[in-house]
Structure 1
Amino acid sequence: MGLVIRRATPADAQVLSQLAARTFVETFGHLYPDADLQHFLRDSYAVDKQALILAHPDYAVWLLECDGVAVGHAAAGPCGLPHPQVRPGDGELKRLYVLREHQSGGWGGRLFQAALDWLERDGPRTLWIGVWSQNLGAQRFYARHGFEHVGDYEFVVGTTRDHEFILRRPPHAA
């Protein structure tokens, strides 16, 4: 099984749309009424939205591929989290997902590192992550990488409002 990470391009919009929806459903689909979930997926992971992100110079997405088939992804860009201390120039890990059958092999960590390296390509800066308050494994992972809980917000999927944590890591010295 050949696993590789590569930077996604606008030509990957369809693949990213399908993978993002699949990984979200696999991870969180059980939390939402079906109508809310389907609306969220159609809106958030629409092919045209993925194409815009992939073509935008301020955003980057990486695909984890197994024998040429996308099985994970990470996305990064400017911070959009609702926290009063977010400043222009701060970066955010927007998404980090690996399909269940490809987890526990260290590839999520490699995707994470690719995103952090890109976010800090021009030097250290404050980095942010939003994570579901009940995703304890992700919280432990991010804490090991210097992220601390600094706020809360609601992540809305239809009529459901998830309690999310806002994590922040200050700039590291180069």
Structure 2
Amino acid sequence: MTHTLQIHPVTITDLPALQAVSRETFAATFGAANTPEDLANYLDRAYATPKLTRELNNPHSQFFFIQQDADVCGYLKVNVDDAQSEEMGPENLEVERIYVRVAYQKMGLGKQLIQLAEQLAHDAGKTRMWLGVWEHNDNARGFYAKQGFHQVGQHTFSIGGSDQTDYLLAKDL
């Protein structure tokens, strides 16, 4: 059986699916490094319906699903201008979230999402893309290095009582 892979914009009607894949992929990536209570509190806050609704309605943010047939395999969130989570300037596009479900990792889907982000940046006249990656996420750091990203700084990312270091990576376009 041939499977069809598609990338398409996420709309407000996709909110339940976005919440589900967001919670699943974040927990799979960061669950072991946090207490169950801290993780649950973060997931409830970060992916609450009102918060995701605001993000989906922000004209400076875009979400995309990557799907195989009807299955959501992962998603991408990009920000420009004042929607960026750090003040990086108007020439930048931020890849705020890029997650692929565990069952679909190592299949090139993350690369397709990064390529989409790069195309969106070009189309918007941006000259650089940037993102944050957890210092202990060696797989993601290696992936981003292969895509041409390099470290330009770091910031603190808090989950409950745990402060974690994210490396800020950038790629000139």
Please say whether Structure 1 and Structure 2 have the same fold, judged by a TM-score greater than 0.5: yes
Does 2:157 correspond to 1:152?
no
Amino acid at match of 1:5: I
- Matched-pair contact (CA < 8 Å) for 2:73–2:104: yes
Alignment of 1:1-174 (within 5 A): 1-78=3-80, 79-81=84-86, 86-170=88-172, 172=173
Cα offset, 1:104, TM superposition: 1.3
**What's the secondary structure of 1:87's corresponding residue?**
coil
Instruction: Specify every segment of 5 or more residues in structure 1 that has no aligned partner in the other structure, as ranges.
Output: none
Runs ≥4 residues deviating over 3 A: none
Deviations 1:68-115 (A, max 9, x none): 121200110033236xxx223422001111111111111111112112
Instruction: Output the aligned Cα RMSD.
Output: 1.6
Deviations 1:46-87 (A, max 9, x none): 1222222222221111101222121200110033236xxx22
Deviations 1:145-173 (A, max 9, x none): 22211111111000111121011223x2x
**Distance (whole Å) between structure 1 residues aligned to residue 118 and residue 16 of structure 2:** 24
Superposition TM-score, scaled by structure 2 size: 0.89
**Distance (whole Å) between structure 2 residues aligned to residue 50 and residue 150 of structure 1:** 28
Instruction: Specify every segment of 5 or more residues in structure 2 that has no aligned partner in the other structure, as ranges.
Output: none
Amino acid at match of 1:24: F
Superposition TM-score, scaled by structure 1 size: 0.89
